[in-house]
Amino acid sequence: MIGLLVATVSFGALLYLAALGELISEKAGVLNLGVEGMMAMGAVSAFMAAHQTGNPWIGLVVGILAGALTGLLHGWFTVVLGAEQVVSGLSLTILGLGFAAYMGKNVVGRPPGAVLAPVDWGPLTDIPWAGPVLFGQAPFVYLAVLVGIATWFVLSRTRAGLALRAAGESASTADAAGHSVVGLRLCAVGIGGGLAGASGAYLTLTLTPQWAEGITAGRGWIAVALVIFGAWRPGRAAVGALLFGGLLALKTRLQTFGVDFSPILLSMLPYVSTIAVLIAISVRARNRPSPAPAALGTAYRREER
Amino acid sequence: MKRPVLVRRHRPLRGGQPLAFAVGLILALAVGAVLLMAADHEPLRVYQRMFEKSLGDQNAWSLTLNRAVPLGLAGLAVAVAGSMGLWNIGAEGQILAGAIGAAWVARIGGTWPGPMLLTGMLVGAVIGGGLLALVPAMARARIGVNEIITTLMLNEIALRLLQWLIHGPWKDPDSYNFPLTPVLPAQAHLPTLFGRAHFGVIIAGAVILVFGIAASRTAWGYELRVAGSSADTARYAGISLKRKILTVLLLSGGVAGLAGGVELSGTADRLTEGISNGFGYAGIIVAALALMRPSGVAAVALLFGAVQVGGQSIQIIGVPASISTILQAFILFGAIGAGVFVRYSLRLVPTGVDASGEGGTAA
């Protein structure tokens, strides 16, 4: 049972990191369906860097940079050139998965050069229940918590966050207020890519410390779903991440609990519940405004406003 | 000081899209060449082999045509919805649902004569794909739920449904625990045309032709475009938006489902997890490159079919097939990059013309 809770937090952080990235990007008005591709790029780059240098932290940094660069490709096409966000994002997924497979061809199945092991909190780890669940985790879990709090704070409590949200709600207003919509959006997409890359690095540096094609296994789509499930709010997304993370953790443990239910069918739940939430949001939106950023998915050209 | 600004052309550059496409292709080949050289392969040799094995002779053409079938049908599915401004991102899941529908008919009709069984399988495929599109279609038409995310989520749901079936109720008891269904009955295979090419080529060609005519020559197609460009105009003209959305998304799902059925009865001998091979996602790129036009879909699907077949053929000389995935994505990125200049021209504007002086769409 403790194992289940530990895995819930662990998987939850994996999803949360990528979801926060997507949330930041969407808050600025850019839908990026390339999460899966950015994760794969982060995963393979982090693994290869750690393999080469033997230092997992260099792996993490390289993974974040790879994710950010991949994300900025989407930013260049959609924000600067005004291409369709849906098409560009999906192509990014295809490109990222293909590129990662090509890059990582020679390290498939190799032992990791270095792993990011759980942080040692000393006596705290020995506290029953809370010890292993909260203090026996890999650095990524604490990174996810920190980024979550920072995202909430910056978005809702700072001028920069206000400007970023304005770019996503009404780009022409943000522009008129003297903000660079292109700059804000590129920044958001880059950060979003970096967080997806960090999530990918978590996979290959800690969770399953090796590289294999398809290692992201659709988790990028769950991250996209989480943003909607959490109604574009970092706090609610954290709750959703724990729920969906719990489902991922439960998937492999159903049989040990003696429950006769297909783990495959169980893994449908995140997607089914996201559709349900989306429908609920739309039904409620008849009376109150939708939580989705108003300018989400639209390109902004000053000359055509 | 001057700064570059994109200015919309009064009308798009004539012949611009094929040009943009060519730019995309050249860019993709250039990027691919760099990647190949980085891994100590000779780009020219690799490209020559890809070309020969996909378009070099009759057998190569038959393989390329077979590949173009699911790509073209998936692309058409996306384009049908896209011509009305709707995004069907769920072609991948609908292909799987179509394959499930066809496989289900093959299970219950194993003893039927060939033509009846094949017809039944294809109908089952269309219904399967349409059923998967039902929830997004209803949700969009009735309460305005954005179809992008709902169709996307259903891809993952359909994949898990398929996995559950082949790991569980439909698993071949003689498969040594591999997740596969039993092989299809012998008469459940589409007839062969030439080489490896199967009858699905004709089916796909006919479906694309019918939609092409319907889209450009009928009142129905015209109404779609009106509804796609302006909901208000459509309402004013008495076009029922709800019904249009519903029928278009269901049709779109059905066409994608057909791709799954054709793939199962044409090239596979049983239902496996890899029945789609990402055709649904590639179909979105195909439709985007074709600017949502059925005629363009056929052409782009052929090219992508060739790239994919070529990509498989170079594995034997030690080049990963993922290079063809990279090529496809870069064709699109190159083409959308170049496509911007079909609609916009680059002008140098003195700075200071714009009061705020920063940001905007400076490129």
What CATH number has the domain bearing residue A87?
A: 1.10.3470
Q: How far is A136 from chain B (nearest CA, A)?
A: 32
- The reply to whether the predicted model has a pTM over 0.90 is yes
Q: Is B85 on the interface with A (CB under 8 A)?
A: no
In angstroms, rounded to a whole number, what is the distance separating the alpha carbons of residues B112 and A19? 50
Counting DSSP H helices and E strands in chain A, the numbers are 13, 0
Task: Measure the N-to-C terminal CA separation of chain A; round to a whole number of Å.
Answer: 56
Separation of alpha carbons A106 and B38, rounded Å: 13
Q: Are B279 and B95 in contact (CB under 8 A)?
A: yes
Residue A304 in any domain: the answer is no
**For residue A19, which of A278, A253, A164, A226 has the smallest C-alpha distance?**
A226
Q: pLDDT (tens digit, 9 = 90+) per residue, B295-321? A: 899 999 999 999 999 999 999 998 998
Quick check: helix, strand or coil at residue B171?
A: coil
Total tally of structural domains belonging to chain A:
1
CA dist B189 and B99 (Å) reads: 13
- How do residues A75-85 score in pLDDT, each as one tens digit? 999 999 888 99
> In this complex, which of B157, B326, B363 lies closest to A99 when CB atoms are compared?
B326
Burial of A27 (0-12, 13-18, 19+ CB in 10 A): buried
The reported pLDDT for the residue numbered B362 is 40
Residue B6 falls inside a structural domain:
no
Best to test chain B binding among A72, A106, A175, A271 (most B CBs inside 10 Å): A271
Query: Which residues of chain A are within 8 Å of residue B358 when distances are taken between CB atoms?
Result: 178, 180
Contacts of B37 (CB under 8 A, 6+ apart): B43
Which ranges of chain B have pLDDT less than 50?
Answer: 355-363
The residue-averaged pLDDT of A157-166 equals 95
Does residue A289 belong to the interface with chain B, where contact is any CB pair within 8 Å?
Answer: no
Give me the pLDDT at residue A262, please: 85
Q: Which of A33, A94, A179 sits opposite B329 (nearest CB)?
A: A94
Instruction: Please report, as a single letter, which amino acid is at residue B55.
Output: L
Q: Which residues from A are below 8 Å from B164, CB to CB?
A: 262, 264-265
Q: Which domain holds residue A220?
A: 2-115+124-298
Four-CA torsion B246, B251, B256, B258, nearest 10 degrees: 140
Which residues on B lie below 8 Å from A182 (Cβ)?
359-362
| CA–CA gap between residue B65 and residue B130 (Å, rounded) | 25
Per-residue tokens: B232: 């208000």
Domain presence at residue B337? no
pLDDT tens per residue, range A284-304: 877 777 888 988 988 887 766
Nearest residue to B252 via CA among B201, B203, B294, B190: B294
**The pLDDT value given to residue A272:** 94
- pLDDT score recorded for residue A40: 98
Does residue B53 lie in a domain region? no
Contacts B362 to A, Cβ<8 Å: 182
pLDDT of B361 reads 44
Average pLDDT on A139-162 reads 96
CA distance A295 to A289: 13
Alpha helices in B188-321 (DSSP H): 200-217, 219-229, 231-236, 241-266, 279-289, 294-313
Summarize pLDDT for B15-58 with one digit per residue, the tens: 788 888 889 999 999 999 999 999 999 999 999 999 999 999 99
Statement: residue A28 has pLDDT above 60: yes
Query: Would you tell me which residues 231-260 of chain A have a C-beta closer than 8 angstroms to some C-beta of chain B?
Result: none
Largest CA distance in chain B: 79
Question: Residue B322 and residue A99: Cβ atoms within 8 Å?
Answer: yes
The answer as to whether A303 is a domain residue is: no
C-alpha A131/C-alpha A134 separation (Å) is: 6
How many structural domains is chain B composed of? 1
- Tell me, what's the pLDDT at B16? 80
Enumerate the H helices of chain B as residue ranges.
Answer: 16-38, 43-55, 58-82, 91-108, 114-143, 147-167, 200-217, 219-229, 231-236, 241-266, 279-289, 294-313, 322-343
Interface test with A, best of B7, B17, B152, B162 (most A CBs within 10 A): B152
Identify whether B43 is part of a domain: no
A residues 3-42 near B, CB within 8 Å? Answer: 31, 33
Residues of B in contact with A71 (CB under 8 A): none
pLDDT at B357: 38
Please judge whether B325 and A283 are an interchain contact, meaning their C-beta atoms are less than 8 angstroms apart: no
- Domain that residue B289 falls in: 68-294
Judge: A283–B143 Cβ closer than 8 Å, yes or no. Answer: yes
In a domain, B14, yes or no: no
**Tokens in use for B276?**
């789609």
The pLDDT score that the predictor gives to residue B352 is 60
Chain B residue numbers with beta carbons less than 8 Å from the beta carbon of A101 are 320, 322, 325
Q: Contacts of residue A179 in chain B, CB cutoff 8 Å? A: 359
Residues in chain A closer than 8 A to B81 (CB atoms): none
Backbone angles phi, psi at A208, to 5 degrees: -130, 80
Q: What percent of chain A has pLDDT over 70?
A: 99
Q: Do B167 and A264 touch (CB under 8 A)?
A: yes
Nearest CA in chain A to B360: A302
Residue A213 has, within 13 A of its CA and on its CB side, a CA count of: 12
